């Protein structure tokens, strides 16, 4: 009897059930999409923040001071210590390798540009542009093209194994050099493949593949410093503590959190005789920006959940209010309060489950679309969230119906049937 009541109610009142179901579906869709966006927004914005550049710097442990002013390197070229290029792939072998989005080694060398019979001393930076690096079986591409996205080249980017160089834009303007020129640097004939614009010191320099810089310096495998771009977690009190003063479990927690400090510590472990440190301008501020945006989206998500809960309960209240005469009939035939309420709750639960499942799928699709159109990457919603979302849908539907159901069971059948309420 009970099952038939519920079944017939769905069969005969298709329009009303469809309306209430649509409200639940829409509510759950919005809630699912916003939860998916809110859980993923930190990671997405973190990746966008990486366009500001590297946040970690690895230097040799026993290095002498950098003497660099206005883009000109005044440090004697063979002075100080170097890192070994062969150690660099190990950066991708650290605990947080998935958080490391890229790295670029830098080797500044002094070169003499011979031009029209005159020689001029310039700084040449050797680096990776988009180099294929392999660690074990894993292969990845890294270099300045990915970690310094604001570097713009007119002409072509040099290949990492070529003997092509880039001229900084101010240097090129001063020497009226253009892509395609042939130049002689420290006795080597080289090809200018493009003009580089960075807005920084590189505009006065020459940028070349790392191998070429090592050859000019006469030190194969030498690297002066490495810029590392890593996705990090905003710093908190634990991050700032000195790892040496920590107890075992606290140390493990620190080591296994992607703080700038702990990633720097792991880089130092991976590369022999190195010193790694956060670039505070980038690392410190991105934490602040990230926290702000995450907080904002979290509150907006709460607002979305609230609005969808309200929409669902409004729809349910209306649907039940319209069925007063039915309640009157049931009660006139001898149904108790419990029987009436259980029919309504069963209907609500059924609606919530159907609407919730459809809404979950639609919300997942919506989140996917938002991720694609705004961030050019996927936002996926873990299927484990389905039971959680369904439970929320049932609770919200029950909560929304509760007041209306209470009113309905309290109805005097006489008034209800006469339509006087």
Partner 1 sequence: MLVRAAVLRRARAASALLAMVVAAAVATAMLNLYIDVQAKLQHEFRNYGANIILVGRDGASLPAGAVSQVESALSGRGLVAAFALVVARTSDGQPIVVAGTDFNRVRQLDRWWSVSNWPSARQQALIGVRAVSVVSPKNQPFDLGFQGHTIHLTSAGTVQTGAAEDSRVYLSLPDFVSWTGVQPSTIEVAAAGSPGEITAIMHQLEQAIPAADVRPVRQIMEGEARVLGKTRSTLLAAAALIILTAALCVLSTLMGWVFDRRRDFAIMKTLGASDRLLNGFFAGEAAALGATGAVIGFALGIGIAAWIGRVSFHAPVVPRFSVLPFVLAGSIVVTLLSAILPISLLQRVQPAVILRGE
Residues 26 to 85 in contact with partner 1, rule: CB under 8 A: 26-27, 30, 33-34, 37, 41, 44-45, 48-49, 51-53, 56-57, 63-70, 74-75
Site for partner 1 in 252-291 (CB under 8 A): 277-285, 288-289
**Of 21-29, 206-214, 348-356, 382-390, which segment contacts partner 1 by CB under 8 A?**
21-29
**Of 5-13, 109-117, 346-354, 373-381, which segment contacts partner 1 by CB under 8 A?**
373-381
Nearer to partner 1, 149 or 220 (CB): 149
Token digits of residue 215: 């050859």
Neighbours of 329 (CB within 10 A): 14
Residue found under tokens 């060398």:
109
Q: Judged by CB under 8 A, which of 94, 232, 262, 308 binds partner 1?
A: 308
23 binds partner 1 (CB under 8 A): yes
Q: How far is the CB of 318 from partner 1 (least distance, A)?
A: 3
Nearer to partner 1, 66 or 269 (CB): 66
Q: Which run of H or of E encompasses 27?
A: helix 14-49
Distance CA 264, CA 276 (A): 5
Q: Which run of H or of E encompasses 42?
A: helix 14-49
Distance CA 182, CA 118 (A): 16
DSSP character at residue 94: S
Residue found under tokens 């956060």:
278
x/- map, 128-167, partner 1, by CB under 8 A: --------------------xxx-----------------
Q: How far is the CB of 329 from partner 1 (least distance, A)?
A: 12
CB proximity list for 251: less than 8 A, separation 6 or greater: 243
Q: Judged by CB under 8 A, which of 370, 385, 386, 399 binds partner 1?
A: 370
Q: How far is the CB of 200 from partner 1 (least distance, A)?
A: 7
Q: Which run of H or of E encompasses 292?
A: helix 280-321
Q: How far is the CB of 74 from partner 1 (least distance, A)?
A: 6
Residue found under tokens 């609230």:
306
Q: Judged by CB under 8 A, which of 18, 156, 250, 310 binds partner 1?
A: 310
Q: How far is the CB of 374 from partner 1 (least distance, A)?
A: 5
**Of 92-100, 153-161, 371-379, 389-397, which segment contacts partner 1 by CB under 8 A?**
371-379
Site for partner 1 in 166-205 (CB under 8 A): 198-200
Q: How many CA atoms lie within 13 A of 387 on its CB side?
A: 1
Residues touching partner 1: how many (CB under 8 A)? 74
* Coil, helix or strand at residue 394: helix
Q: How far is the CB of 170 from partner 1 (least distance, A)?
A: 8
Site for partner 1 in 329-348 (CB under 8 A): none
Distance CA 211, CA 214 (A): 5
The bridge status of strand 274-278 relative to strand 56-60 is antiparallel
DSSP character at residue 87: G
Token digits of residue 4: 């038939």
Decide: 178 and 195 in contact? Cβ < 8 Å: yes
List of E strands, 44-155: 56-60, 68-69, 72-73, 83-84, 100-115, 118-127, 131-135, 138-142, 152-155
Site for partner 1 in 209-228 (CB under 8 A): none
Q: Judged by CB under 8 A, which of 250, 256, 303, 395 binds partner 1?
A: 303
Site for partner 1 in 92-131 (CB under 8 A): none
């Amino acid at each position: 009897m009970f099952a038939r009541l519920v079944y017939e109610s769905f069969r005969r009142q298709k329009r009303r059930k469809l309306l209430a179901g649509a409200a639940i579906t829409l509510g759950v869709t919005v809630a699912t999409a916003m939860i998916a966006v809110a859980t993923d927004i930190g990671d997405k914005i973190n990746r966008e923040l990486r366009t500001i550049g590297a946040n970690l710097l690895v230097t040799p442990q026993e290095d002498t001071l950098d003497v660099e002013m206005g883009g000109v390197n005044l440090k004697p070229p063979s002075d100080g210590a170097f890192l070994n290029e062969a150690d660099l792939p190990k950066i991708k072998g650290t605990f947080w390798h998935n958080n490391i989005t890229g790295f670029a080694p830098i080797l500044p060398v002094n070169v003499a540009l011979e031009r029209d019979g005159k020689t001029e001393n310039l700084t040449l930076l050797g680096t990776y542009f988009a180099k294929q690096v392999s660690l074990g079986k894993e292969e990845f591409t890294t270099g300045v093209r990915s970690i310094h996205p604001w570097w713009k080249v007119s002409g072509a980017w040099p290949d990492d194994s070529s003997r092509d160089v880039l001229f900084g834009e101010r240097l090129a303007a001063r020497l009226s050099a253009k892509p395609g020129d042939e130049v002689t640097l420290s006795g080597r004939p080289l090809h200018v493949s493009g003009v580089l614009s960075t807005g920084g010191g590189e505009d006065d320099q020459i940028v070349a593949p790392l191998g070429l810089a090592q050859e000019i310096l006469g030190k194969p495998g030498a690297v002066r410093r490495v810029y590392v771009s890593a996705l990090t977690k905003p710093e908190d009190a634990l991050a700032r503590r000195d790892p040496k003063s920590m107890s075992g479990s606290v140390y493990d927690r620190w080591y296994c959190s992607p703080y700038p400090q702990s990633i720097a510590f792991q880089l130092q472990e991976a590369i022999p005789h190195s010193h790694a440190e956060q670039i505070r301008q980038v690392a410190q501020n991105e934490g602040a920006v990230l926290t702000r945006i995450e907080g904002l989206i979290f509150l907006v998500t709460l607002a979305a959940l609230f609005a969808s809960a309200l929409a669902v309960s409004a729809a349910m209240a209306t649907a039940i209010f319209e069925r007063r005469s039915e309640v009157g009939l049931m009660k006139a035939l001898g149904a108790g309060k419990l029987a009436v309420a259980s029919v309504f709750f069963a209907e609500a639960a059924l609606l919530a489950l159907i609407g919730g499942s459809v809404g979950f799928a639609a919300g997942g699709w919506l989140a996917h679309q938002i991720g694609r159109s705004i961030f050019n990457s996927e936002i996926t919603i873990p299927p484990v969230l389905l039971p959680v979302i369904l439970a929320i849908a049932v609770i919200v539907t029950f909560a929304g119906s509760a007041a209306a159901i209470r009113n309905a069971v309290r109805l005097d059948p006489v008034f209800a049937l006469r339509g006087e309420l």
